[in-house]
Amino acid sequence: MKNFDAKEQTEKVVQFIRDYYKSAGVGGAILGISGGKDSGIVAGLMVEALGKENVIGVTMPCHSKEEDKTDAKLISDYYGFELINFDITGTFDTFKNELEGLGGFSEGDLKNSDINLKPRLRMATLYYLAALYSSLRGKTYLVAGTSNKCELYVGYFTKGGDSVHDISPIADFTVEEVIKIGEYLKVPEKVLYKQPNDGLSNQSDEDKLGVKYADVAAFMEDENAVDEKVAEKIRKLHANNLHKFNIPTYKKSA
């Protein structure tokens, strides 16, 4: 975070988004609004770049807390973009019912599958709505991604879920840098300083990972900046994560 200039970086990201939209000949952005800071800040950047009339936010509760929806509303009211609610609880439950045909499974067996099904259904929902509104409104909507650099480094995302999107504005910013941008954009404080959690497992993201994002950011700049035990944990998370990006592919020439 040496010499991080939030104003300069915000202006550059906004220009990057505008340039890409112009070159690709597309017009709208759609993104999931979880009620957390990352999606709030990406929404702010897309509104800044494209205008609020070209941004659609989507809340996709799935057996979720009402609070997340309230915070999503706070963000959409603040920026003035359209907010759609698409409840995926029914879709999730129907999927799970279908599973009963395969045998009786314990909650423990299903836990990991359940946790990752939700972001995958959310991705499918965003792309469904992106195509629908592109057709209805005669401009192409892109799905905006909300992953930050720390999450991407340690693999805190779901392959085939939130990792699937069409433009990635904050993927090169650490959590601390994302917050600086949020402060510059005046994202409502309640959202900006909320302890992030996935809304799925009732644990904070950092609890689940077992590392602090501040340590991940420090490690990425200098491996010796954190305790060796912490460094080892981050190295392991990062190594386990690499397969999500590089699909092993047979090549004839090999």
**37-50 vs 6-24: helix crossing angle, rounded to 10:** 60
Cα torsion for 171, 119, 192, 187, to the nearest 10°?
A: 80
Burial degree of 75 (CB within 10 A; 0-12, 13-18, 19+): buried
Distance CA 245, CA 204 (A): 25
In the complex, the smallest distance separating the C-beta of residue 93 from a copy of itself, rounded to whole angstroms, is 8
Nearer to a copy of itself, 112 or 224 (CB): 112
Task: With CA atoms as reference, report the closest residue to 78 among 200, 189, 205.
Answer: 189
Task: Name residue 143's beta-bridge partners.
Answer: 30
In the complex, the smallest distance separating the C-beta of residue 215 from a copy of itself, rounded to whole angstroms, is 20
Nearer to a copy of itself, 110 or 190 (CB): 110
Residues 6+ apart with CB under 8 A from 53: 81
Nearer to a copy of itself, 99 or 190 (CB): 99
In the complex, the smallest distance separating the C-beta of residue 240 from a copy of itself, rounded to whole angstroms, is 10
In the complex, the smallest distance separating the C-beta of residue 23 from a copy of itself, rounded to whole angstroms, is 9
In the complex, the smallest distance separating the C-beta of residue 225 from a copy of itself, rounded to whole angstroms, is 19
In the complex, the smallest distance separating the C-beta of residue 131 from a copy of itself, rounded to whole angstroms, is 4
In the complex, the smallest distance separating the C-beta of residue 192 from a copy of itself, rounded to whole angstroms, is 20
Distance CA 25, CA 193 (A): 36
Nearer to a copy of itself, 109 or 223 (CB): 109
82-85 vs 28-32, strand pairing mode: unpaired
Task: With CA atoms as reference, report the closest residue to 40 among 183, 157, 176.
Answer: 183
CB 73 within 8 A of CB 79: no
Nearer to a copy of itself, 114 or 183 (CB): 114
**Entry field: residues in the chain:** 254
Residues 6+ apart with CB under 8 A from 163: 145, 147, 157, 244
Residues in touch with a copy of itself (CB under 8 A): 9, 12-13, 16-17, 20, 24, 84-88, 90-91, 93-95, 97-99, 101-102, 105, 108-110, 112-113, 116-117, 120-121, 123-125, 127-129, 131-132, 135-136, 145, 159-160, 164-173, 243, 247-252, 254
Nearer to a copy of itself, 17 or 194 (CB): 17
Nearer to a copy of itself, 84 or 200 (CB): 84
User: Tokens representing 108?
Assistant: 């423990």
